[in-house]
Amino acid sequence: SQTIHQWPATLVQPVGSPLSLECTVEGTSNPNLYWYRQAAGRGLQLLFYSVGIGQISSEVPQNLSASRPQDRQFILSSKKLLLSDSGFYLCAWKKGNMNTEAFFGQGTRLTVV
Amino acid sequence: AQSVAQPEDQVNVAEGNPLTVKCTYSVSGNPYLFWYVQYPNRGLQFLLKYITGDNLVKGSYGFEAEFNKSQTSFHLKKPSALVSDSALYFCAVRDISNSGNTPLVFGKGTRLSVIA
């Protein structure tokens, strides 16, 4: 069966510090991968998605970036965090190029102080 | 363009009563529709989906949803609510005419509170 791992679960970082959140998927190959941000426990904002290694689509211009160095690894990064980057970050995957549901990781609560 | 509307920020229902969480969608073609549930500080859990076929879809935890093409709706329902159903519910859509690589579009969520 497929599983998705996202870490860390919680993170407190000072303003101006770098960020690296990691997401990995097991039990499948060539998945579509997604990063979402959820602010104040409400709606989901799609940040990035990837349909293959090295292929990143950005949905919202900001100081975040994403990379996919391996087929089942998706990394969310920032060189310098802003207070407004605080939120709940969710990674998700689904089978590539298929109209199926997406499966979500458990999320990372990021607080920028 | 595709979009989803969840018109209610909050739904309150007494335990044992039926519940409905509303969702309407807009796509240029035919829709694929999904419902997810989120418990506090957790990721989203898939509940059910409509792809094709029977308009009434049954999913996890006794939930069901009815696809209504004329009203462009996909309301989530449960005959008898439990306190443990209290959570944040998200509706999502993808246009069938889009590539399967196109991300889902989510509604803003509806908070369901079931009162004992």
Count how many domains chain B has: 1
CATH number for the domain that contains residue B16: 2.60.40.10
Domain housing B73:
3-97+106-115
Which chain B residues in 22-61 lie under 8 Å from chain A, judged by CB atoms?
32, 34, 36, 40-46, 49, 51
List, for residues A15-71, the tens digit of each pLDDT value: 999 999 999 999 999 999 999 999 876 789 999 999 999 999 998 868 999 999 999
Cβ contact, residue pair B101, A109, below 8 Å: no
The helix (run of H) or strand (run of E) holding residue B73 is: strand B73-78
Determine the residue among B104, B111, B112, B113 to mutate to test chain A binding: the one whose Cβ has the most chain A Cβ atoms within 10 Å: B104
pLDDT above 80: residue B116: yes
Classified by CATH at the fold level, domain A3-112 comes out as Immunoglobulin-like (2.60.40)
List, for residues B55-93, the tens digit of each pLDDT value: 999 999 999 999 999 999 999 999 999 999 999 999 999
Cβ contact, residue pair B100, A106, below 8 Å: no
The helix (run of H) or strand (run of E) holding residue A38 is: strand A31-38
Cβ contact, residue pair A105, B43, below 8 Å: yes
Taking CA B6 as the corner, what is the angle to CA B64 and CA B43, rounded to the nearest 5 degrees?
A: 70
List, for residues A58-100, the tens digit of each pLDDT value: 988 689 999 999 999 999 999 999 999 999 999 999 988 777 8
- Across all residues in chain A, what is the average pLDDT? 92
The residue of chain B nearest to residue A5, with distances taken between CA atoms, is B43
Give B91: exposed, middle or buried? Use CB within 10 Å, 0-12, 13-18, 19+.
buried
